[in-house]
Chain A
């Protein structure tokens, strides 16, 4: 199976005020196939978010190649890259990034509105109306009763569940989740993590998860750690392997 995401010797440097450069990612290579789950753990500021942003094409690497579905992002124009991202990638952020004045349902429907599509791929591969898909996802994340509420009235856990539903609406081949439980309490974090893995698996999406929570990281098929800008295979705590 060809990988949905390939990173080949990706480097990311940031210019500093004193004229020097800070290397956050140093020759990082990574591949993720459909249905595969990969976690990247690391301390705060280790470059996890940068890795995900580069994978999503919302940040450009200083060096190296990023391929989404086999297409190199470097050769694409901004509209082409944006279109590819909209149809191929689902994003879940630590800070949810919901539009506060839109309703929960409207937030979930945003990717379809931006892509200008009325249908999304259904579970059996047949297309279905995006409105129906949004309702089904809201039911799946347990928010069907709050669909018409403005997003600003939700609790943190509800916001992240809405964000997960939004990320999955167009059945993306790749799901990128950046500290999805970082802003939630233990109970809420557990529920969101369950949801994320279950739905990614149900839909056959590749999942790249950045987290500093080792227990959450341990649930992935492949577990990696970012340190000094480089990727290493992660050692897992015993409790995590037990799960």
Chain B
């Protein structure tokens, strides 16, 4: 029988192509969404690997600085490590994040490493696992070894001239050199290498970033770790791999968000499968009844039908692979920008399409398809054969019919109720379900269960029976089964659009307010090409030179200066920015948006206490008055928390303290002044801000960035928009899947109702009237979707703003409805639905009375 069904599949497909195509395309798009997000997440992790683990293969321990500043491991530590008993090899490393390499007309960014090859402690060819080319003389003279991919892109080979510059450097910091060789390197893990001393010179400061330690065979790694801790103060010594785990943890929330968005696409696809299987089974009810009458058991028929869905799901998943790969490629730049903005300096350079990721996406898509089909299949297979064979015969007892009619809205209302409860009372939430994402999932599924009931409720609608569109609306309302399924898919898409757009709108409005509140200075000065904004915690942040500081002090319009020092430490296994400012600065009263008592908090800052960012406070459970042990250069230092401030600049956590205290806790190298990484300038009253900016730009030339308050604010919002751009594609995905569902479902309906249409034509209906009838159905689908989806989207917004964001990112957002965006999206949903209906409606309008003959 399986063989027979398989052989008959092409004929069945020809008879009703839409019924076959709908689930296949829906699954393809769902699988594509999941695959693209998986590929992007994997690429992000590979980029992280490239920055952390590319050199660590085979290392047992990693020595890093207590403070994550570039060069925080002293050069002197290396011989100490080498001389420690049990150490077989110690490779000193400095990292040149986002190293720029270029020729006259092209340039590229690549993770760069300063390594020591003289001592034999490092062999880049072995580390990269492939054969490369290498010109030792050029390398030891300051040449660079490039990944082949980058060399090809730049069109250079060994001994060709290139320029190199540290990450974020301006043209003034570039220096010429030669290509000293190439290494193969896998996509996403390809790195460039420089000789250690030349890398230090390029960076402009001594010191190492870390030392990779390999233990001799048979030696006790833990004993080596203890010995190193005792001999080298002020460093962290950790098992190799810890850094990666911590790094992966860093942007786990971001990856989870992408995953959740892709899951919505899959959910929409599952509803379309549900819808299409329901339509297909309705069309094949008598056929199924015949199989049952001829001796096939219900279980067997159910298994066979699920087998068909499985085959369609396989076809969909196969089609989804190129879709996912293309989508991932198209959004690579956006995700890369997000990752760079939020977490890393390197950009994601390429995608690796790993078989296990493809397999995972395929399996998830097939599982979603089977889950979508199973309820319908088993319901149909469990019916008595006679009810399947007899058209129009009630297949269920009145009690069971009532049950099947009532359980979806009952379950849907219960799920939505739970989600609303979670949104309104987040505090009691973790004890009940445990995750805002769980509540969001429940909400979307609950909303998708409502359209049938909503259509039944609206069935009393009587307006417009004299028009074709009105009659179409009426028909749709009287047949919830023919309208509900595509509406369910569109409901999920609309809810997702509203929820995510409102979240982003709330976030942007909050950020805008916060920037307005905290960017109190008139002008901000940072090192030219320096990464990030005023409060960036990038470890490659570069200090302002003495000349720049002098020039800002000498400007006649500058009334006051707020100097900032930044470095990075680790707290609870995650990086945290430590930012030093001048606590007592009369001109700068509004630098912080304090939660609670601002006066007490600012007074505490002046007395040597800490201001802790909201995400950090949430993560570590801190509040005003709590004590925090700060890992300082020599020993941990317990400090009191003076207050918590809002910070939307990063989710990793930051804390402010007085700069004088910071310099005492983290003293600069002997003989050098404490670095200053940024200067916020306050102008005299009545001073011309534009003129001051121009004057400073002239004075500082290419050595510093000078931006005024408004420009910095606008730049921060640009970065935010860039960061959120990646969600756009996934939102479009969900909408396209749902619109496709509407279109194909209508197509199916037109084919199913060919006889009914023919009857109308025979009774004198013209083409426009026939088209109007189907247009009416489309309007019902769109209207119900906007109504229920809009409501569910509002609750989803509350959930995302009040539960998910505080829990996962530590941010408190102010609710803001982006009405313009929502109206535009509503119009997009209407347009997408109507566009999807164009072909089916056209097909319907072309049917004529001869279709009656076919049915008889």
Residues of A within 8 A of B (CB): 15, 17, 49, 53, 56, 58-60, 78-79, 81-87, 91, 93, 97, 99-102, 106, 109-111, 113-116, 150, 166
Contacts and interface: CB of A to CB of B under 8 A. Distances in A.
Given A15-B398, A49-B390, 5 more contacts: A17-B398, A58-B386, A58-B389, A59-B384, A79-B300
B1 interface: yes
Contacts of A56: 293
Nearest to A56: B293
Given A99-B8, A113-B1, A59 B299 contact: no
Contact of A111 (B294, B385, B389): B294
B679 to A, nearest CB: 78
A91 B397 contact: no
Interface string B264-293: 000000000000000000000011011111
Given A97-B286, A97-B389, A101-B15, A110 B8 contact: no
A114 B385 contact: no
15 contacts: A58-B389, A78-B297, A82-B296, A82-B297, A85-B295, A91-B294, A97-B290, A97-B389, A99-B290, A101-B8, A101-B14, A102-B11, A106-B8, A110-B290, A166-B294
Report whether over half of chain A's contact residues are helix, strand or loop; otherwise say mixed: helix
Contacts of B298: 78, 82
A58 B293 contact: yes
In order of increasing CB-CB distance, the 6 nearest A-B pairs are A86-B295, A58-B385, A101-B11, A79-B297, A82-B297, A59-B386
Contact of A58 (B292, B397, B398): B292
A53 B293 CA distance: 9
A108 B14 CA distance: 22
Contacts, number: 81
A23 B390 CA distance: 19
A166 B3 CA distance: 18
Contacts of A100: 15
A86 B15 contact: no
Interface string B367-402: 000000000000000001110011000000110000
Contacts of A102: 4, 8, 11
B175 interface: no
B294 A110 contact: yes
A82 B292 contact: yes
B637 interface: no
A45 to B, nearest CB: 13
A54 B398 CA distance: 21
Q: Determine the main DSSP class of B at the interface with A.
A: helix
A84 B294 CA distance: 10
Nearest to A52: B386
B386 A110 contact: no
Nearest to B11: A101
B715 interface: no
B85 interface: no
B12 interface: yes
Nearest to A176: B293
A85 B291 CA distance: 11
Contacts of B8: 99, 101-102, 106
Contacts of B297: 78-79, 81-83
A79 B384 contact: no
Contacts of A99: 8, 287, 290
A110 B296 CA distance: 10
Interface in B1-59: 1, 3-4, 7-8, 11-12, 14-15
Contacts of A116: 1
**Residue from the set A56, A78, A91 with the largest chain B CB neighbour count within 10 Å:** A78
B393 to A, nearest CB: 10
Interface residues of B, number: 30
B19 to A, nearest CB: 12
Interface in B612-663: none
A85 B11 contact: no
Nearest to A163: B290
Contacts of A53: 386
A109 B11 CA distance: 17
Contacts of A82: 292, 295-298, 300
A111 B291 CA distance: 8
Contact of A83 (B287, B291, B295): B295
Contacts of B291: 110, 114
Contacts of B286: 97
A91 B290 CA distance: 10
Contact of B384 (A58, A87, A113, A114): A58
A100 B287 CA distance: 9
A53 B385 CA distance: 9
B754 to A, nearest CB: 14
A84 B11 CA distance: 30
A52 B299 CA distance: 23
A185 to B, nearest CB: 14
B11, B293, B298: residue with the most chain A Cβ atoms closer than 10 Å: B293
A56 to B, nearest CB: 7
Given A58-B386, A93-B389, A106 B295 contact: no
A79 B294 contact: no
A81 B398 CA distance: 26
Interface string B396-416: 011000000000000000000
A86 B1 contact: no
Nearest to A59: B386
A237 B4 CA distance: 46
Nearest to B298: A78
Nearest to A53: B386
Interface string B466-491: 00000000000000000000000000
B295 A114 contact: yes
A14 B297 CA distance: 24
Nearest to A86: B295
A48 to B, nearest CB: 13
B280 to A, nearest CB: 13
Interface centre among A82, A85, A109 (most CB of B within 10 A): A82
A86 B294 contact: yes
B11 A114 contact: no
A111 B1 contact: no
Contacts of A78: 297-299
Contacts of B296: 82, 86, 114
Contacts of B385: 58-59
A81 B3 CA distance: 23
Contacts of B397: 15
Among B11, B290, B291, B294, find the residue whose CB has the most chain A CB atoms closer than 10 A. B294
Contacts of B398: 15, 17
B18 to A, nearest CB: 15
A91 B296 CA distance: 14
A42 B299 CA distance: 35
B377 to A, nearest CB: 15
Contacts of B1: 113-114, 116
A12 to B, nearest CB: 11
Among B8, B12, B295, B299, residue most surrounded by chain A Cβ atoms (within 10 Å): B295
A198 B845 CA distance: 49
A58 B295 CA distance: 9
Nearest to A100: B15
A111 B390 CA distance: 20
B379 to A, nearest CB: 15
Contacts of A49: 390
A193 B384 CA distance: 29
A203 B296 CA distance: 24
Contacts of A59: 384-386
Contacts of B289: 97
A59 B7 CA distance: 31
Contacts of A91: 293-294
A91 B294 CA distance: 8
B295 A87 contact: yes
B386 A111 contact: no
Residue from B11, B384, B390 with most neighbouring chain A CB atoms (10 Å): B11
Nearest to A91: B293
A30 to B, nearest CB: 18
Contacts of B294: 85-86, 91, 110-111, 114, 166
